[in-house]
Each structure stands twice: as structure tokens, then as C-alpha cells.
Structure 1
Amino acid sequence: MGRLDGMTAMAPARNEPDLSFLLDHTSHVLRTQMSAALAEVGLTVRMHCVLVHALEEERTQIQLAELGDMDKTTMVVTVDALEKSGLAERRPSATDRRARIIAVTEEGARVAARSQEIVDRVHREALGALPKQEREVLLRALNRLAEGHLAVPSADGTARRARQQVK
């Protein structure tokens, strides 16, 4: 058998579109655009996520970390930043004295409302690059994949878990 030095025609033929690349690339670019836009109000994507989910209902730091797909250390750093900015604070739970919840301050609620407008704008602009009919088809198809064939990760556990959507 000879070596493959200098040979370029040995790659296997691709028979399907590279769905992994398309989803990874567009997701990465959307995340960078979102990060840059949220910086307008001094938030990270994680800070926005914590504020919005903490405003929905009383939630512990552990619950919020799970919703935002954050490990314990990242969550602590995120809540520390929110507290330092005066946007949220750790408080004892009203229903379980042993638990501590993340309570959003009035200023935090104001910033969360503004940051949600920014998130909505970034999503609207991304989808606006497509004709309306294609937007609707794309969203329907992605929802169908997210709720069906691609709803549950492979059990081998080698890939990082994607953020789970709360219903």
C-alpha cells in the first residue's frame, strides 16, 4: 500500500447536507450577535437568562442553573455579578427555609424587560433574513426536530448537553 502524501481525491463522497455544520455555525453566530447586543445593557446571555427565569417564579440557584445549562461555579459567578450590579439578590425561600432563591430587584426587572426586547430583536433580525414563508417553515421544522427525533441526546454522554427548553 502506498502513502497518501499529496493526494487530495481520497475523501469520501458526501451524500447528505452537513446538518451539523449548518446548525453549529448558525447557532454560534447567533450567540455572538446575542452577546454583543446584550452588552448594550451590561448583561451577559447567562445574566439575562437568570433574570428572566427568576422573574417567572420563585426559583433556587440550582433550579436556575439547570434552566440555563450552567454548572455550579458558573452559576455562582453569574449571580455574584447580578448582585454586584444590584439586579438580583439571594434570599431565603418563602416556602422552604433551607432553600435560598434568587430574587430580582426592581432595577433587575427593568433591565430584564429591556434585555428581553434586545433578545427578541436579535431573533427577529436573524429570521428577517428569510422570506416570511421560509421563516415559518424553518421554525416549524426546527420545533419538530427539537420535540421529536432530536429531543433527547445520545446516551453515550460524550457531547456537551445543549440547553433544555422549559415548557
Structure 2
Amino acid sequence: MRYIDGVSASPSAADGADARVTTGETGLELDLGWAIRMVSSAFGRVATSSVEDLPGGPRGYLVLVALASGEPPSQLALAQRVNLDRTVTTYLLDDLEARQLITRRPDPRDRRARQVLITEEGRAHLERAQHRLAIAERHLLADLDEADSRQLRLLLTRVARTAQREALAPETDC
């Protein structure tokens, strides 16, 4: 038996709908949409101020994070990975390149495509932004212990991957 806010709940009562039935709660406190909106809004504020020195702010940060690990992606693959419109991505990459945070080169496998690479200057900017963001995140997650914080990140990452798959999936008629 588990407990949600001091009320016993079955193991399947981890989601808000089951918790509402178990506890009789109908308020905002157990509404997933409300929780996501509140966290997103608060995180948006702290994230934006943490990365305001980067071209594109949070979008520029996500691009640098995506580029910091793994094989250099094409511009199109990068746009899909960070869920940005191709045109927006092109302008953002232009701005990041002008600041010498990234560079682009022809893809050796397809010379029509361009690979995007992070520069050493880009890595230095990214490290500073990550440090500022980590401080802001600790403030936002202050009510969670380290294990809960890690669990929250893992669960949100799983949900984000599902959302990304859904966003990239071709639309089908019902």
C-alpha cells in the first residue's frame, strides 16, 4: 500500500485520476494539466534568465545541449530533435554561428546537407549556462530530496520521449 498526501492508495493510484477517486479530491492539486502548467511557467522564468546571454535564449541552449554529445547532426535532424521549425532553426543557427558558438560544414555522407557542430566557445558558454540553470533548478525543486528529484527527471524524460514520438509521427485519419 502506498500513500498519496497521507491517504492510502493502491500501487496503480499513482496517476492523478486514480488518486482523485481514492482520496475524493477534485481540486487543482491533483490535476496534471495544472501541475504541468505551473512547473512549466516557473521553469520558463528561471530557464530564460539563466540562458539570456545565448542567442535564442532557451532555444539556443537546447541546440547547444543537443550538439554537445554524439554525432554532429544535420540541420534538419537537429530541428526535429529539439522540436523547432526548420526555418526558425536556420535563423537560430545563423545567430549562434555569428557568435562563434557553432559551426556548419557539408555532411560527408550527403553534401547537400550540412552538419552542425558546437565550437569550444560554444561548449564554454554551455557550461556556464548549465551551471546557472542547475542553481535555478535546485531552487525550483527545493521541496524534493535528491532521490525524488532524480525520479522526477527520469519520469519527465520518459513522458517527453513519448510526446516527441507523437509529434514526429505522421498524422493519421480516424
Q: TM-score, normalised by structure 2?
A: 0.66
Going from structure 1 to structure 2, the CA distance change for 1:76 and 1:61 (only over 3 Å counts) comes to: same
Q: Which has the higher helix share?
A: 2
Find 1:75's aligned residue among 78, 89, 93: 89
Deviation at 1:59, TM superposition (A): 0.7
The residue number in structure 1 matching 2:130 is 116
1:51 corresponds to 2:67: no
Find 2:40's aligned residue among 20, 27, 47: 27
- Equivalent-residue separation in structure 2 for 1:53 and 1:22 (angstroms): 27
1:98 corresponds to 2:112: yes
Q: Percent same amino acid at aligned positions? A: 25
Going from structure 1 to structure 2, the CA distance change for 1:48 and 1:130 (only over 3 Å counts) comes to: same
- Equivalent-residue separation in structure 2 for 1:123 and 1:95 (angstroms): 39
1:107 corresponds to 2:118: no
Find 1:60's aligned residue among 63, 67, 74: 74
RMSD: 3.0
Query: Residues 48-77 of structure 1, C-alpha deviation per residue, up to 9 Å, x if partnerless?
Result: 111121221211111111121111122112
User: Aligned with 2:40: secondary structure?
Assistant: helix
Query: Residues 68-97 of structure 1, C-alpha deviation per residue, up to 9 Å, x if partnerless?
Result: 111112211211110121211221123432
The residue number in structure 1 matching 2:51 is 38
Aligned residues: 141
Ranges in structure 1 where 5+ consecutive residues have no aligned partner: 1-13, 162-167
Deviation at 1:115, TM superposition (A): 1.6
> Does the CA contact (< 8 Å) of 2:54 and 2:61 recur in 1?
no
User: Aligned with 1:140: secondary structure?
Assistant: helix
Query: What letter corresponds to residue 130 of structure 1 in structure 2?
Result: D
1:147 corresponds to 2:153: no
Going from structure 1 to structure 2, the CA distance change for 1:22 and 1:63 (only over 3 Å counts) comes to: same
The residue number in structure 2 matching 1:137 is 148
Ranges in structure 2 where 5+ consecutive residues have no aligned partner: 1-24, 168-174
> Does the CA contact (< 8 Å) of 2:101 and 2:123 recur in 1?
yes
